[in-house]
């Protein structure tokens, strides 16, 4: 059962990375388009800035969950690393508990935000509900909660094996 759960978390992580990566690529395409239309065509498009903001919301909340799973999130473990094993494990559980609280906060209040703004529209995208644009908050919170549960039940995911073709690059990561 734990193997199946780990495999599901691996798949969820892959989805998070793909979604965040696509959002980043789209942001990288939208911003130059805005610069091009403003300074080359002398007729600025109105949609690139709000589109970049919406994509940044997706990148932030879905990408943060994937970074948390891989341990790439911001943390300060200097003093904890100097503690003996038992207190270090206890502090680790406290941290995971606090992350679960944060994830539940994102899910609960994110759903309330989506619900409160569902009937509003964005001026540049009148077909798009504001509530839809806030969906990455509770979704990212749910993904984060799943990754916290994985860490508590099974432990952190194993490090991927280095690619033999890029062995030197893996040594510097």
Query: Following DSSP, what letter does each residue of 45-70 receive, concatenated?
Result: -SSHHHHHHHHHHHHHHHHHHHHHHH
Give per-residue pLDDT as tens, 60-77.
999 999 999 998 877 777
124 DSSP assignment:
T
Mean pLDDT of 37-49: 88
Phi/psi of residue 127, nearest 5 degrees:
-80, -10
Mean pLDDT of 15-24: 96
Question: Of the ranges 58-62, 81-85, 167-171, which one carries the lowest mean pLDDT score?
Answer: 167-171
| pLDDT band, residue 164 (cuts 50/70/90) | low
Is the C-alpha dihedral spanning 164, 166, 167, 172 positive or negative? Answer: negative
Give per-residue pLDDT as tens, 100-124.
999 999 999 999 999 999 999 888 8
Predicted pLDDT at 163: 65
Say if residues 60 and 14 touch (Cβ distance below 8 Å).
no
Which secondary structure element, helix H or strand E, spans residue 125, and what is its range? strand 125-129
Predicted pLDDT at 167: 58
Rounded to whole angstroms, the Cα distance separating 70 from 4 reads 19
């Amino acid at each position: 059962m734990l193997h199946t759960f780990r495999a599901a978390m691996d798949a969820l992580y892959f989805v998070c990375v793909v979604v965040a990566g696509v959002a980043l690529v789209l942001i990288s395409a939208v911003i130059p388009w805005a610069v091009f239309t403003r300074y080359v065509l002398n007729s600025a498009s109105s949609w690139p800035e709000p589109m970049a903001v919406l994509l940044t919301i997706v990148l932030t909340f879905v990408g943060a969950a994937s970074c948390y799973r891989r341990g790439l999130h911001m943390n300060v473990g200097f003093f904890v690393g100097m503690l003996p094993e038992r207190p270090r494990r206890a502090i680790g559980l406290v941290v995971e508990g606090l992350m679960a609280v944060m994830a539940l906060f994102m899910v609960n209040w994110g759903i309330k935000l989506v619900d409160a703004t569902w009937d509003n529209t964005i001026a540049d995208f009148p077909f798009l509900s504001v509530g839809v644009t806030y969906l990455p908050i509770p979704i990212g919170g749910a993904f984060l909660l799943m990754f916290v549960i994985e860490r508590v039940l099974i432990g952190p995911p194993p490090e991927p094996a280095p690619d033999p073709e890029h062995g030197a690059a893996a040594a510097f990561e």
